[in-house]
Amino acid sequence: MSSLREKVLAWIDQDRELLIEFYQRFVRAKSPNPPGDTREAMAVITDFLTREQLQWQECTAQEHLPNVVASFDGQAPGPHLVLNGHVDVFPIGAGEVWERDPWSGDIVDGRLHGRGSADMKGGTTAAIFAYRYLHRLREQLSGKLTLMLVSDEETGGRWGSQYVLETLGDAVKGDCLLSGEPGGVGTIRFGEKGILQFKISIRTRGAHGPYAHLSRSAVRIGGQIMDRLDEVMAFEAKLPPTVAERLQGETARRIIDQTMGEGTSEVISRVSMNVGTFHGGSKINMVPSNCEMEVDIRVPLGVDREAVLDKVRAIVAEFPEASIHDITGGPALFSDPSHPMAEIISANVERQGYPTPLRIPMLAASDCRFWRERNVPAFVYGTSPRNVAAPNESALIEEFLHVVRVHTLSALDYLTAP
């Protein structure tokens, strides 16, 4: 093992309590999005960076959604690696369902509990400390390292990574991106499904409840449209060969299901459809004249997103009272699973005594897509996705520390490669 690698691992071991304390304090800093005010959580980071004398700048469009960027150059020309993490988290939902305070940061039986502990305050902490450690070694590195910490990932990234990339351009685009999203320590994620999100509005005349024969119900029409939208799940994916080969075999299916839940190995190459919100009507004794729904469709690699959208439009067009609007998202994208960074991550995982990670795409979206859209390879390695977006979210402390090691060593290897 090189002296630099030994030095880095020694620093991480010495900082064990500091790492856990920072992670815990970060989770306790509330940052649900929506509503999206992440200033308390970002202050935990900027206070730390300032104390460590690590220069940073803010690149923010919305005051309550701050973004922070830090960069340094090595002593010689080389590749530019970007470490990206988000500080916003999912809302807690029904708080009474949680077994403990969602912002407790409690550590019980080796797990840190709280919203964001898995998605992705552990991965973001890994990025921060990897940057800190490598800054100490900057005179022995080649290329450039950038740390980008953003506040708007959970609602699409418009005011987070997308804004920073559009504003700072090549200064933060890099040659490769490493993310600590919760992909599970048994996998390296090299791609993700496309996103197709939209709203459907339905308007009818409406009537007094006893006179239901005088008007169609907007809510009933909404229900019919919702049922019809299941038809998009019939699209069959023609996976690119480099992706298909990674998903074949019993071992791949077992690891996918263990990491993301039973049945995921089947869903990973299929279109999924979810109606996230559904609102209609004004009063129990009135025929609803209005109905609104928000729909989230995920399109796998090998399925044309525009063809799915055409199908959706055709379904909605069968109902003259309905209209579709606010269409957002983008196509499924992936990076070369054999890219040098994927090889580096895999080797470092194995050196830490973990099994060789399976390289697979994600079901959920991440900010990686903003780099892949710019033809920059992007890879994810993070803790297990335990109850992400659900009550009782938590993460294993030892997995978190493992991710810190893997991210730091992988960044080191990438910036010292001959």
Average pLDDT, consecutive stretches of 10 residues, N- to C-terminus, the chain (418 residues): 89 98 98 95 98 98 97 97 98 88 96 97 98 97 98 94 97 98 96 96 97 96 98 95 92 90 92 97 97 97 96 98 96 96 98 96 93 98 92 97 98 94
Boundary of a domain, candidates 330, 346, 370: 330
Identify whether 21 is part of a domain: yes
Boundary of a domain, candidates 330, 362, 379: 330
How far is the CA of 349 from the CAs of 6, 14, 323, 356, in angstroms?
15, 20, 49, 7
Name 201's Cβ contacts closer than 8 Å, sequence gap at least 6.
290, 291, 292, 322, 323, 325
Same-domain pairing of 224 and 352:
no
Same-domain pairing of 211 and 284:
yes
Identify whether 243 is part of a domain: no
Distance from C-alpha of 360 to C-alpha of 21, rounded to nearest angstrom: 32
Same-domain pairing of 211 and 350:
no
Cis peptide before 341 (omega within 30 of 0): no
Same-domain pairing of 83 and 208:
no
- Looking at residue 313, its pLDDT comes to 98
Same-domain pairing of 117 and 79:
yes
CA-based nearest residue to 363, from 257, 288, 284, 292: 257
- As beta bridge partners, residue 380 has 179, 189
Residue 24 is encoded by which pair of tokens? 């815990």
Identify whether 309 is part of a domain: yes
Residues across the chain:
418
Q: How many domains is the chain partitioned into structurally?
A: 2
Identify whether 251 is part of a domain: no
Identify whether 384 is part of a domain: yes
Identify whether 176 is part of a domain: yes
Same-domain pairing of 275 and 188:
no
- Looking at residue 1, its pLDDT comes to 52
> Helix, strand or coil for residue 62?
coil
CATH number of the domain to which 123 belongs = 3.40.630.10
CA-based nearest residue to 99, from 111, 86, 82: 111
Domain that residue 284 falls in? 194-235+270-330
Same-domain pairing of 154 and 104:
yes
135 conformational bin, left if phi > 0, alpha if psi -120 to 50, beta if neither: alpha
CATH number of the domain to which 303 belongs = 3.30.70.360
Same-domain pairing of 171 and 226:
no
pTM, to two decimals: 0.92
Same-domain pairing of 374 and 294:
no
Backbone angles phi, psi at 201, to 5 degrees: -115, 140
Same-domain pairing of 388 and 325:
no
Same-domain pairing of 224 and 151:
no
Distance from C-alpha of 261 to C-alpha of 241, rounded to nearest angstrom: 25
Boundary of a domain, candidates 300, 315, 330: 330
